[in-house]
């Protein structure tokens, strides 16, 4: 993007914008001046916001007005998400648009389109190395195609989420190329150093993200004879948010994309966007200043757009990104720790740690909204509470090794299949990759043509999804999970992908298998219909709303966890068995009668039997 693209003829100002600006300008000004002593740049920011507001289409302004009146619109039990790669799901943006009827049938009304902005093959990092924030990858379509897709989604009541990579640009971005050529204005937009003296000071306290595949946080650029900060990969240059020009320009990119009809902007790598020597350059105070300003700018220009923060850290470091009630930051955050702990529970058949973490989440304000998922586009990092596990005799390194061995199918009576990612032979640390279905045993059962094992695997797959739906927040499927799609080993044949095992679960959507959802008895049919039943029950029961009370009950069986939800007199209990054996949940809810929402059976919530890898959703009568 060139800076001159901001200079456009202004349309008629929006009165609603002016009102919102009056209400929020003072705080925005105060925060801006906390970071930048530049009145001219602040004035430019305000005028550009006015321009973007004036160009916001009538349909989007209408959505803004509706969502301003109902600011909790996204907190209902109506939203069900799906993450998908455009190229894998539909081939192109137009191809995705042609699949909207399928998404509707799958009950999906929130789609997260994985990175699709312009990047360079071989220097992409899955699309997170952006070469142009205002251009779509040529093989996927055009920005006009994207705007048409968001309009079609809006007509069907489907929200669209996209990634906004704030921390860095690609080395192929116009700014980086000008910096590489020696232009001081553009070098100031990154972290350039003449020698490695200051980079070494940073390295003393700044952890490495990919110590084996991309060690260090700086890369020497022979073309200009300088060092540049590259926290993630050498072709991803960290932006310097101490420079007000960087902040302004990135906010203009944010508003440009919001005006294309996006409902949710996922801010990638949020904790990294402010750097200081002598610190970990993670989660610094100024990060929250930047995010709060972004929230204010969105509320002023496009109040119908939500901010989703990607903070892949333990709960204590995640929660601050919600901000406060008076000064909120992100509308939603990912529930990363619970996802990892869920798979730990699968491997150990011990829900103790999971219960503890769910109890912590239950104690948070109901205003805090998490996106919950079993699998996503990324690997599973074993970021568990090892201080707690140590009390149970589980030391960090051996336990990580056990988990990785288990999910590869090597130990613990495992039925899982998958591969390691970024394994460090020295520390023995590594992450895991695989689809939900393959980790639940569907792949192994199909290979061995074991019908009994397939029954158990499908039941476990559905149980884990039922458990995810029971958590507080918005559940998100990964594309293909709705049909139990398996690991895709063909990535090994692609020279650009073969070194990155994450592509084992980033395979193309198997539309040939999706045709089986109407073929009774096929595993795709059983998974799809099983999820369909659960999704429709969730949407029909108000206790699944995000503002419901959320709690756990003691089951007195370490393999079984019980989650409760309560809202306006309605009470639900979800009981989940993580064991391959039948178990009993030794709960005793005052001899009240409950209805099993799946089977219709009436029973007491007292000493409830749960079949192997099974679950029950119970509603108090």
Q: Residue 535 in contact with residue 107, Cβ under 8 Å?
A: yes
Structure tokens at 355: 């219960």
Q: Residue 365 in contact with residue 507, Cβ under 8 Å?
A: no
Long-range contacts of 545-550 (CB under 8 A, 24+ apart): 545/75, 545/76, 545/77, 546/75, 546/76, 546/77, 546/366, 546/369, 546/472, 546/473, 546/474, 547/72, 547/75, 547/366, 548/366, 548/472, 549/362, 549/366, 550/358, 550/361, 550/362, 550/471, 550/472
Relative to beta strand 306-309, strand 110-113 is unpaired
CA–CA gap between residue 217 and residue 238 (Å, rounded) = 10
CA–CA gap between residue 13 and residue 55 (Å, rounded) = 9
CA–CA gap between residue 162 and residue 86 (Å, rounded) = 11
Rounded to whole angstroms, the maximal C-alpha distance in the chain is 76
Whole-number Cα distances in Å, 401 to 138, 254, 333, 428: 41, 41, 29, 7
Structure tokens at 547: 């503002």
Structure tokens at 51: 């321009």
Report the SS3 class of residue 34.
helix
Structure tokens at 258: 């919001």
Q: Residue 541 in contact with residue 569, Cβ under 8 Å?
A: no
Catalytically active residues are 268, 310
For residue 280, give every residue at least 6 positions away whose Cβ sits within 8 Å of its Cβ, in sequence order, or none: 205, 206, 207
Q: Residue 67 in contact with residue 303, Cβ under 8 Å?
A: yes
CA–CA gap between residue 563 and residue 601 (Å, rounded) = 19
Per 3-state DSSP, the chain is made up of helix, strand and coil in percentages (nearest 5) of 40, 20, 35
CA–CA gap between residue 608 and residue 602 (Å, rounded) = 12
- The full length of the chain comes to 621
CA–CA gap between residue 115 and residue 232 (Å, rounded) = 16
For residue 594, give every residue at least 6 positions away whose Cβ sits within 8 Å of its Cβ, in sequence order, or none: 573, 602, 603, 604, 605, 618, 619, 620, 621
CA–CA gap between residue 116 and residue 93 (Å, rounded) = 9
Structure tokens at 287: 């990060």
Report the SS3 class of residue 562.
strand
Q: Residue 384 in contact with residue 344, Cβ under 8 Å?
A: yes
CA–CA gap between residue 476 and residue 161 (Å, rounded) = 12
Relative to beta strand 615-620, strand 570-577 is antiparallel
């Amino acid at each position: 993007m060139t800076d001159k693209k901001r200079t456009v003829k202004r349309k008629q100002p929006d009165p609603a914008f002016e009102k919102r600006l009056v209400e929020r300008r003072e705080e925005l000004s105060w925060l801006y001046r906390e970071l930048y002593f530049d009145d001219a740049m602040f004035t430019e920011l305000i005028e550009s916001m006015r321009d973007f507001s004036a160009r916001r289409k009538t349909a989007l302004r209408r959505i803004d007005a509706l969502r301003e009146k109902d600011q909790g619109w996204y907190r209902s039990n109506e939203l069900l998400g799906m993450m998908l790669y455009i190229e894998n799901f539909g081939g192109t943006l137009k191809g995705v648009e042609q699949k909207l009827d399928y998404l509707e049938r799958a009950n999906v009304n929130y789609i997260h389109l994985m990175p699709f902005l312009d990047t360079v093959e071989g220097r992409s990092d899955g699309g997170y190395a952006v070469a142009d924030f205002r251009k779509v990858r040529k093989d996927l379509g055009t920005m006009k195609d994207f705007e048409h897709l968001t309009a079609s989604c809006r007509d069907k009541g489907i929200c669209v989420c996209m990634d906004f990579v704030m921390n860095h640009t690609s080395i192929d971005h116009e700014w980086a190329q000008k910096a590489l050529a020696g232009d001081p204005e553009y070098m100031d937009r990154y972290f350039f150093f003449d020698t490695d003296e200051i980079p070494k000071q940073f390295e003393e306290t700044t952890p490495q993200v990919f110590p084996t595949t991309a060690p260090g946080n700086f890369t020497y650029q022979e073309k200009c004879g300088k060092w540049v900060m590259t926290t993630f990969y050498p072709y991803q240059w960290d932006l310097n948010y101490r420079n007000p020009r960087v902040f302004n320009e990135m906010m203009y990119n944010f508003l440009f994309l919001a005006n294309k009809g996006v409902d949710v902007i996922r801010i990638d790598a949020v904790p990294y966007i402010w750097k200081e020597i002598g610190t970990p350059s993670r989660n610094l105070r100024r990060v929250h200043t930047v995010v709060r300003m972004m929230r204010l700018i969105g509320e002023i220009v496009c109040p119908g757009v939500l901010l989703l923060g990607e903070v892949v850290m333990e709960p204590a470091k995640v929660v601050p990104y919600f901000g406060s009630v008076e000064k909120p930051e992100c509308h939603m955050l990912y529930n990363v720790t619970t996802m990892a702990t869920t798979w730990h529970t699968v491997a150990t058949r011990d829900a103790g740690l999971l219960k503890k973490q769910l109890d912590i989440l239950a104690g948070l304000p109901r205003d805090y909204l998490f996106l919950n998922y079993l699998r996503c586009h990324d690997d599973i990092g074993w970021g568990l509470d090892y201080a707690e596990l140590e009390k149970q005799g589980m030391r960090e390194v051996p336990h990580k090794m056990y988990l990785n061995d288990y999910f590869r199918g090597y130990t613990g009576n495992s039925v899982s299949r998958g591969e390691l990612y970024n394994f460090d032979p020295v520390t023995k640390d590594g992450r895991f990759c695989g689809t939900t279905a393959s980790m639940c045993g569907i792949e192994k059962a199909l290979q061995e043509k074991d019908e009994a094992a397939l029954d158990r695997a499908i039941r476990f797959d559905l149980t884990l999804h039922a458990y995810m739906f029971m958590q507080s927040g918005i559940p998100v499927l990964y594309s293909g999970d709705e049909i139990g799609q398996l690991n895709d080993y063909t990535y090994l044949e692609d020279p650009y992908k073969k070194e990155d095992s994450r592509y084992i679960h980033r395979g193309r959507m198997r539309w040939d298998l999706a045709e089986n959802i109407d073929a009774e008895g096929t595993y795709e049919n059983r998974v799809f219909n099983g999820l369909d039943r659960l999704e429709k029950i969730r949407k029909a029961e108000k206790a699944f709303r995000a503002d419901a009370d959320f709690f756990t009950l003691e089951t007195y069986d370490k393999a079984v966890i019980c989650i409760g939800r309560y809202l306006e007199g309605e009470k639900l209990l979800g009981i989940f068995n993580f064991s391959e054996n039948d178990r009993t949940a030794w709960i005793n809810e005052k001899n009240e009668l409950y209805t099993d929402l799946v089977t219709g059976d009436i029973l007491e919530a007292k000493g409830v039997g749960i079949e192997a890898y099974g679950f029950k959703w119970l509603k108090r009568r």
